Structure 1
Amino acid sequence: MKLTWFGHACFLIEHQDIRILTDPFDSSVGYKVPNVSVDIVTESHQHFDHNAHHLLKGDFQLIKELGEYSFKKLRIKGVKSFHDEAGGSRRGTNIVFVFEFSDWTVAHLGDLGHVLNPQQVEQIGQVNVLLIPVGGTFTVGPEEAKKIVEHLQPNVVVPMHYKTKYIKFDLRPVEDFLKLFTNVKRLSESAFELTEEVKSHRAVVYVPSI
């Protein structure tokens, strides 16, 4: 399993000859627009910093609605959630995408704005890798994100959607989230690979560079 973080909520997930790009952004966000070829693009909601699939090249399957999808041996599940704590009345709905490979499960929480309820936790299921927003303002902040980690109990946690020197939004820094955890791995690159060994771990936080 290989993941590459392009910034914000955008990741390239590569496994079993399948390439998935999550929540592509446009250049106004502050990061470089990804220049990659992929099989699938998912968009958790239709805000400009998460839905810029029109800037991508090549042919791909676009998934931006709730439901269940399949591609080769991959199963994708969209779980309904909200962009705020008010049932979506302020910022609309959000889709949590769960990518179920034969041997790995990755959950991308998009711009989740609230702590998950028991039904959502059950729908998401057992997760190996959790890609979770932590910057607050438009999503859950560090404290709420920690509660979500405790509920889902993933092997690996990758924070996203937080303040960096590139981003133009007023978000909290990742350090506010990291101080809530004891096992943190700061990486020197934006891309990293996960082996079967990490499945014996619990809530190890990986922080890729950008």
Structure 2
Amino acid sequence: MKIQYLGHSCFKLTESTGTSVVTDPYQKIGYELPKDITATAVTVSHDHFDHNNIGAIGGNPTILRKDGFFDLGGVEITGIKSYHDEEGGALRGENVIYKFRMDGLDICHLGDLGENFSAELLELLLPVNILLIPVGGKYTIDSERAKEYVDQLMPEIVIPMHYKTKSSDIDIEKAQGFLDEFDEEDVDVCHKDELEFSREDLTEEKTKVILMERTQ
């Protein structure tokens, strides 16, 4: 399966069958979403402008905005209710975490998760092979709390998202603080916007952090 990073918290996940999902498409945040993106489905973790630009995605996609189980042409999608803050949603509302089962891999997109780690949430999220996790803090978990999620979920691959870049105007932290939580040999700053993964590739016992780069 392929993962294309489109910036911020937006990814295009594509199974070998061609079924594809775009996560959290954004409106202009200093830069704009790449043009001519199509998908079979779009997931929206919460209804904020930097996560809900569904009109920018072509292909007449199915729109998913809630928790529950969905079967999308053989791709299993599970939406899990969570919170955008540490106060049970009192500050910023609810957030939907989405898990995708593609080509035998479990991919988890945490959206704008803000709540602290709990055993109850761990049970709902496991297993996870590839974790897409916010690390910029302020509106989401910060780098230290993100590391706690990684330690508990123990994915083979971690891809940071929702962090400050040179071209973005969102007032959050850069990804470096999160990268510094790991040993240098476990971090790959790959300068690519698209990667391919298969079940056979994920044989490492230690978690690998891959910082992707929006190149369009």
Question: 1:58, 1:74 → 2: CA distance?
Answer: 17
- 1:4 equivalenced with 2:4 (yes/no): yes
- 1:178 aligned residue: 179
Instruction: Output the amino acid matched with 1:85.
Output: E
Q: After TM superposition, give the deviation of residue 120 of structure 1 in Å.
A: 1.2
- 2:45 aligned residue: 44
- Stretches (4+) displaced over 4 A: none
How many residues end up aligned between the 2 structures? 209
- 1:169 equivalenced with 2:173 (yes/no): no
Instruction: Please give the secondary structure, in 2, of the residue aligned with 1:200.
Output: coil
Q: After TM superposition, give the deviation of residue 102 of structure 1 in Å.
A: 4.7
Q: Is the 8 A contact 1:115 1:145 kept in 2?
A: no
Mark the CA change 1:4 to 1:102 in structure 2 (over 3 Å): closer, same or farther: closer
- 1:54 aligned residue: 55
Mark the CA change 1:115 to 1:197 in structure 2 (over 3 Å): closer, same or farther: farther
Note the residue ranges of structure 2 that are not aligned, 5 or more in a row: none
Which sits farther off after the overlay, 31-40 or 191-200?
A: 191-200
Which sits farther off after the overlay, 38-47 or 56-65?
A: 56-65
Name the TM-score, length of structure 2 as normaliser. Answer: 0.93
Mark the CA change 1:38 to 1:166 in structure 2 (over 3 Å): closer, same or farther: same
Cα deviation 1:143-187 (Å, max 9, x = unaligned): 000000011110100000001011111111111000111200111
Q: After TM superposition, give the deviation of residue 19 of structure 1 in Å.
A: 0.9
Q: After TM superposition, give the deviation of residue 116 of structure 1 in Å.
A: 2.6
- 1:31 equivalenced with 2:31 (yes/no): yes
- 1:204 equivalenced with 2:205 (yes/no): no
Question: 2:200, 2:189 → 1: CA distance?
Answer: 18
Question: 1:12, 1:119 → 2: CA distance?
Answer: 28
Q: Is the 8 A contact 1:81 1:94 kept in 2?
A: yes
Instruction: Output the amino acid matched with 1:104.
Output: L
Q: Is the 8 A contact 2:7 2:33 kept in 1?
A: no
- 2:80 aligned residue: 79
- 1:187 equivalenced with 2:187 (yes/no): no
Instruction: Output the amino acid matched with 1:193.
Output: E
- 1:67 aligned residue: 68
Question: 2:75, 2:91 → 1: CA distance?
Answer: 33
Question: 1:11, 1:102 → 2: CA distance?
Answer: 17
Percent identical across equivalent pairs?
Answer: 36
